[in-house]
Structure 1
Amino acid sequence: MIESRPSDAFQPGDVLNNTYRIEALLGRGGTSDVYRARSEISGRLAALKVLKSEFSGNDDYLVLLTREEEIREIRHDAVVRYSENHRTQDGLVYLVMDYVEGPGLDKKLAQGPMPADDLLMICRKVTEGLQAAHRRKIVHRDLSPDNIILRDGDPSKPVIIDFGIAKDTNPGAETIVGNEFAGKYAYAAPEQLNGQTDARSDLYSLGALLLANFRGAKPDIGKNPMEVVRKKGEPLDTEGVPEPLKTLIDRMTAPVPDDRFQTAGEVLDFLREQGVAAEGDATVIVPPPKRATPAPTLAADSPQAAPPPPAPEPRRARGGLIAALSALALLLGVLGAYMGGALDGLMAPAYPVSDPFTLDVAKPLDGTPSAMGNVPSDSTRAALTSLMSRHQGSADLTLASGDVADSWGTDVLETLNRLEPLDQWHLKMTGNKASVSGMTRDADLQDRLSDLFLAGFPGALSGEADIRHEPVFLQTAEVARLLDEMADCGPLALPGASPVGFGPDSDIVVTGRVADTVTRVQLFDALRAVAGERNVVLDVEVLNPTLCLIETHLPDAPPGGIVVEYTVGDRNEPNPSGRFFVGENPVIDVVLPADVTEGYLTVSILDVSGNVFHLLPNLNRQDNAIADLRAGRDGEVRVRVAYPLSEAAENGRLAFRVDDSALGKSKVVVLHSVAPLFDGLRPTSESALGYAEALQEDMETDRDSILSLDSRLLVTAAN
């Protein structure tokens, strides 16, 4: 549980709408917080997702929270159950969902490797849950260890939670947190870096998290953005993973989506073939049937056939009473030493071997500490548990044997004593190697601790330490300077930034456009390096170099309410998503509002390949006066600028068919001007650079000529 703050929307004991009594805060997010609550009517526990007050009056966020509520139609015991939205008297909106008790797979990951059989059981049930979601055209998009909870700690009862960024895959559907990249780098499918997501992306993420929990470590995704993009194009390293888990993961995480299992049903078929079968609500591992063989016959001299040797006759010891008393005294002495922990370093109890031998102890900023992993002795476990209890923290520690020094427990406790004064700290142990990070707002404390760890770790430990000094406020100017350095597609903005900077609980929200995915990754990593514990929210659109070139040359004109609409010409079907596949014929209409009656219309499409096609005017259609386009019609008027192939063959107008030579994002740009733009007609097709230079020259001649600018993306993709 997380310690409550006075600024939280609700405090333990509060009752919402005379029904739900708040018991604890479970987690904080960028737009919402999650609480555990109990119904005063039924006594049932529930989790409440509460939209933060600054978003409760925003219609966009309310629509998205309502979309999340609609996921309640998924009925499966491996998917968290949603119920309904409510609004408090103060205007706060919250969503009610089932409360699931148990550890998340992220907690299991921190404790070390999981058995392959447990992971096969988890895979079976989670895949069934995904299948139920995919049947309703809903993709999770953010499947990772922290989004799967083992109900009551049972691997046969996993539950998928947090469909908060789930996306309905129907054309035109909205994404809960916008249409940008969702998912954590370590588990996201390669196509998600480019904003492409479908059901196969969930299968990739599930395979990646299975591998992570088998190894007890996240997938290696590289140390810089270029490595992230490169490694995402390579198969995951499954060397040493036992069958059938290895083949399962390999086929779920192929870098190319077409090479993976295509559906959750195919994953379930594979599991059934491998003997992973379902019984009621549980999943069990059933070995594939084998041909019966005769029972072996043991030879007379076989060790198994030999009878056990007779027990030796006990011999009467001399001085029996004295010897017995001496032995008893020795035994009591040993027991006393053992109970006091004095023999921890000398005795080797028969604890299960853990390789690697790991321990993770952390204290988040303004939160309670936790300790999870392995310890070599009862005394170390008791000391760590006591330390966590003093700070209202939690300890989940497993006694284990491993390749660690005799003084390991004492050395770890001394390391934690050093870290306690910090505002936030994290100790991660693997054997005798330590990784320490921490943050303080006291510059002198940072200097002292950095010097102390530079001189060496306690006892037999070795490792690296990163102690940061972070002021209370992160200066807005520092973040703005970073954005200026990384902007490659027009300016990046910080909406809502305070003049005094970003406080400890502030979100750093960035809006704008970038030229490619690598820039987006670099931007996120650069912000993450200075953000500390603050959330980084990138509401950034990934375009391409051609579109960015034009974006920097487009006039600074307001939108005019002119709408661009798409139709699939081959089938005469509206296409509200704006996504067209190879072989399809995009038809483009421009809809003029009733108040746009004078001036001139210039419509161009900026192609992903670096070319510009002028749809209106062009050599085959030179009249672009709005009065002529209206032809006496009042009200809203539709003007077609790209035609069905069949119609274009008759009237010679422009038409397109998508091929696979250049796929990605194009943009239709509509300019409304007082007078015709440019000095004469532009060619029907020209380079983006030539068009950009012509726009720049025209604006320098008459900056007030352009009345409005409207645009819309058109995305082409492989089938």
Structure 2
Amino acid sequence: MTESRPGDTFQPGDLVNNTYRIEAILGRGGTSDVYKARSEISGRLVALKMLKSEFSGNEDYLTLLTREEEIREIRHDAVVRYSENHRTEDGHVYLLMDYVEGPGLDRKLKQGPMAAGDLLTVCRRVASGLQAAHARGIVHRDLSPDNIILRGGDPAEAVIIDFGIAKDTNPGAQTIVGNEFAGKYAYAAPEQLSGKTDARSDVYSLGALLLANFRGAAPKLGKSPMEVLQRKGERLDTEGVPEPLKTLIDRMCDPDPERRMQSAAEVLAFLDAPEPGGAAAGDTADDEATVIAPAVQAPRPQGVPESKAAPAPEPGKSRGGLIAAVLALILVGGGAGGYVAGLFDGLLGPAYPVAEPYVLVAQKTGGTVEMVGNAPSEEVRDALSEIASGAAELTLASGAIAESWGADVLATLQPLDALEEWRLSVKGNRGKLSGTTTDRAVQERLAEQFDGQLPGALEGTVEIAFREMFLPAEALRPILAAQADCGALTLADPPATGYGPETPVTVTGRVAGTATRVTLFDALRARAGDRKLVLDVEVLNPTLCLIESHLPRAPANGIGVGFHVGETGAPNPSGRFFVGENPVIDVTLPEDVTDGFLTVSILDVSGNVFHLLPNINRPDNAVAALRDGADGPVAVRVAFSLAEAAESGGLAFKVDDSTLGKSKVVVLHSSAPLFDGLRPTSESAVGYAEALQAHAQGNDGAILSLDSRILVTAAKP
């Protein structure tokens, strides 16, 4: 257990939202801390993931936390169960999830090697959880020993936690906090370092952590970015690992995702029928075939063509050609020996080590150009370093690249001075260039120059995007209109000249669900670039949105709505009640509300309205009568505890599982009674809203204010 510190947001004993009693801090991360807490209502232990205060107002991180909340739809014992997000009164945002008691694989890693049999059990359990996640299009992207907990220390009870950077697999999906690699290098698949991720990446990470826990040591990646890139392209060393674990890891961790096990289902199929030492995915080797191991090749200098293998003789033909080929290979072998010895350096140039894969990553951010990777010659290396103003870590190497590789890379980079930001990633002869500019002429010139393709022998695309220095509000309004599913979404105080690079884009309104909020964020991010986005939107549900469209437009007047737990009388500031609980509701009149009439109703998720005041048991809703001569703020109980209702006949209710979700308590203050006579105790929301509209047509200004509060009902944890 991690020790508490004075600077922690919560301390043991703190009560969060009058519901969760903090017992300990479980861990600290870059953006959030995780606490162990116990519900004062149910007694259930929970893990409370709290976003650090410096990120609580950042919409990027709030949306990331919202996406993590949506993973609650994955129903599998090997995947931690999520609840939903909450915000404390002082603004801290946290996510609730199941508390899993037991050691993490990271702790087991520090304790030393694990038995192969236990790791196979862990693999089966985790792969089944990944299969459930992948079936819903969710890729974990950060699978590592610290994200797997053994419940009760049992390998058969492994649980995957922390989907904080999980990503859906729909086209265009991105990680909210940046679009580059997110995850831990030690266990990440090679393709993740270039931003490519799918279910096969999770398969690789699972295999890599199995190997680490078998060894009792985390993978060694090297001391420089170049070493990391090189080692990620190599197979993991599984020497000494017993079968079938060895073959399983080999197949799960092939650097080439096309040759790797393609899914968690394939991992489970192997565990059901292990094939130690069998062919890797994609291999079609014949067991009876004769295999001739090739000789180790010396590095080939740039400019020397690679020799082609002689074709095999056709059946029945003379073997003389084969003998001649063997003699030729002997001669080439002698030449290679002389080359390795340095005898031909004067003719062919210096020999550099072979790099596989042969890579170069160069980028410009914040006005600074940085590079890391390989260069085929001193001349190319020096030219690249000059572009990077010395901020380059380049290793001279030969490899499987075109003769014009260096010239082609330089031809790609040299025209990019005018771009504010760009990134070039090259592996072998394939690459991708992307960049942005605020100058339309520069974008058009480069688009014409590259014509969408890298130059020379390089294969790959070029994408140069134009980004307005000042983004007009009109460019964003169609996005708001397309996502508006609960009334209009509006831009708050849009600048007349457009949004500058440092000007935040603030959107207000309501949406019908979390999915709409995430889609809205993604659409705005794609258009607004890296400008700060603030989504000040209320998340309701389709039923409440329908009702909202019919409610009268009136200002709020500070009439408060408070909740209590009927069984204990304790305040419930969160407004969240579980099945079987008895919500108690008080409405507090401000001291300046002394006359008129009060109408209080609950609009529930099923589309019904329950009238708390007035109703057949309590027809007098005049403010003066409710005050009963009292001055100052006055609390008026409108929904009672079961015990109170039994004595007074007041309205009381318990939460059942037929109407779970968000309901809305609506308080209308009017200058005159809203209707002739009483409405039924319950009716359809649309019928009630239409009655309100009909009343408003002949009584303009009769409704003085409208205040409301959300009440949430949920199944027991």
Where on the TM-score scale, by shorter chain, does this alignment land: which range?
Answer: 0.5 to 0.7
2:530 pairs with 529, 533, 537, which one?
533
2:685 aligned with 1:669, yes or no? no
- Whether the 8 Å contact between 1:605 and 1:615 is mirrored in structure 2 is yes
Contact 2:645 2:652 in 1 (8 A): yes
Q: CA deviation at 1:222?
A: 1.6
**Equivalent position of 1:222 in the other structure:** 170
Q: Aligned pair 1:363/2:354, yes or no?
A: no
Aligned with 2:413: secondary structure? helix
Aligned pairs for 1:493-508 within 5 A: 493-508=490-505
Q: Residue by residue, what CA displacement relative to the aligned partner does 1:625-681 show, whole Å, maximum 9, x if unpaired?
A: 111112222222111111112322343332222233333222111010011113332
* Partner SS, residue 435 of structure 2: strand
Distance in 2 between the 1:717 and 1:650 partners?
28
Q: Report the counterpart of residue 284 of structure 1 in structure 2.
A: none
How many Å separate the matches in 2 of 1:540 and 1:413?
48
Aligned to 1:427: 424
Q: Give how far 1:207 is off.
A: 5.9
Contact kept, 8 Å, 2:69 with 2:85, in 1: the verdict is no
CA deviations 1:427-452 (Å, max 9, x no partner) are 23344333322222333332232233
Give the Cα–Cα distance (whole angstroms) in 1 for the partners of residues 211 and 652 of structure 2: 46
- Opposite residue 222 of structure 1, the aligned amino acid is N
Tell me how far apart the structure 2 counterparts of residues 548 and 709 of structure 1 sit (CA, whole Å): 16
Cα deviation per residue 1:102-133 (whole Å; 9 max; x = unaligned)? xxxxxxxxxxxxxxxxxxxxxx9868998875
Q: CA deviation at 1:201?
A: 8.9
Pick closer, same or farther for the CA change 1:708–1:503 going to 2, 3 Å.
Answer: same
Matched, 1:472 2:475: no
Q: 3-state SS of the aligned residue for 1:389? A: coil
CA displacement, residues 204-258 of structure 1 (integer Å, 9 cap, x when unaligned): 99964246999xx985532267999xxxxx989633444473699xxxxxxxxxx
Shift of 1:714: 1.2
Contact 2:144–2:206 (CA under 8 A) maintained in structure 1: no
1:618 matched to 2:606? The reply is no
- Gap runs ≥5 in structure 2: 13-25, 39-45, 73-81, 87-93, 101-132, 148-164, 177-197, 219-237, 243-337
Greater CA deviation, 661-670 or 402-411? 402-411
CA contact (8 A) 1:180 1:195 kept: no
- CA offset at residue 517 of structure 1? 2.2
Partner residue in 1 for 2:64: 183
C-alpha distance 472-560 of structure 1, shift in aligned 2 (>3 A): same
Distance (Å, rounded) in 2 between the aligned partners of 1:701 and 1:337:
97
Amino acid at match of 1:198: L
Aligned to 1:685: 682
Alignment partner of 1:385 is 2:275: no
**Post-superposition offset of 1:547:** 1.6
Aligned partners of 1:376 and 1:237: how far apart in 2? 31
- Give TM-score, length-normalised by structure 1: 0.58
- Deviation, structure 1 residue 563: 0.6
Matched, 1:458 2:455: yes
d(CA) in 1 for partners of 2:562, 2:593:
17
Residues 628 and 455 (structure 1), Cα distance of their counterparts in 2 relative to 1, 3 Å cut:
closer
Which of 245, 262, 284 is the matching residue for 2:209? 245
Does the 8 Å CA contact 2:27/2:34 hold for their aligned counterparts? no
One-letter identity of the residue aligned with 1:245 = L
2:627 to 611, 614, 630: 630
Does the CA contact (< 8 Å) of 1:601 and 1:625 recur in 2?
yes
How many equivalent pairs are there?
Answer: 488
SS at match of 2:368: coil
Amino acid at match of 1:389: S
Match in the other structure for 1:711: 708
In the TM superposition, 1:40-55 aligns within 5 A as none
The residue type equivalent to 1:71 in the other structure is D
Counterpart-to-counterpart distance in 1, 2:647 and 2:146: 62
Whether the 8 Å CA contact 1:194–1:517 is kept in 2: the answer is no
Residue 29 of structure 1 is matched in structure 2 by none
Distance 1:562 1:434 in 2: 61
Structure 1: state its 5+ residue gaps. 1-67, 76-123, 143-161, 166-174, 229-233, 249-270, 278-286, 292-326
Distance in 2 (CA, whole Å) between partners of 1:457 and 1:634 is 78
Which of 313, 328, 345 is 1:334 aligned to?
A: 345
Distance 2:625 2:200 in 1: 60
* Superposition TM-score, scaled by structure 2 size: 0.58
The residue number in structure 2 matching 1:198 is 95
Partner in structure 2 of residue 43 of structure 1: none
RMSD: 4.7
Which of 578, 600, 622 is 2:597 aligned to? 600
Q: Partners in 1 of 2:387 and 2:145 — Cα distance?
A: 29
| TM-superposed deviation, 1:522 | 2.4
Measured after TM superposition, the shift of residue 622 of structure 1 is: 1.6
Q: Is the 8 A contact 2:472 2:499 kept in 1?
A: yes
Matched with 1:517 is 514
1:412 Cα offset (Å): 2.6
Indicate conservation of the 8 Å contact 1:439/1:470, yes or no. yes
Is the contact between residue 143 and residue 206 of structure 2 (CA under 8 Å) also seen in structure 1? no
Aligned-partner Cα distance in 2 for 1:423–1:141: 36
- Does the 8 A contact of 1:186 with 1:220 survive in 2? no
Alpha-carbon distance in structure 2 between the residues aligned to 1:226 and 1:655: 47
Over 3 Å counting, the alpha-carbon distance change for 1:703 and 1:536 in structure 2 is same
Deviation (angstroms), 1:473: 1.3
Q: Is the 8 A contact 1:186 1:221 kept in 2?
A: no
2: CA distance between counterparts of 1:186 and 1:404? 41
What's the secondary structure of 1:556's corresponding residue? coil
Distance 2:704 2:451 in 1: 63
**Deviation at residue 712 of structure 1 after TM alignment:** 1.0
CA distance in 2, matches of 1:400, 1:213: 37
The change in CA–CA distance for 1:328 and 1:511 in structure 2 (over 3 A counts) is closer
Cα distance in structure 2, aligned partners of 1:369 and 1:193: 44
Shift of 1:336: 8.9
C-alpha change, 1:637 and 1:226, in structure 2 (3 Å) is: same
Shift of 1:586: 1.1
**Distance across 2 between alignment mates of 1:186 and 1:432:** 37
Aligned match of 1:542: 539
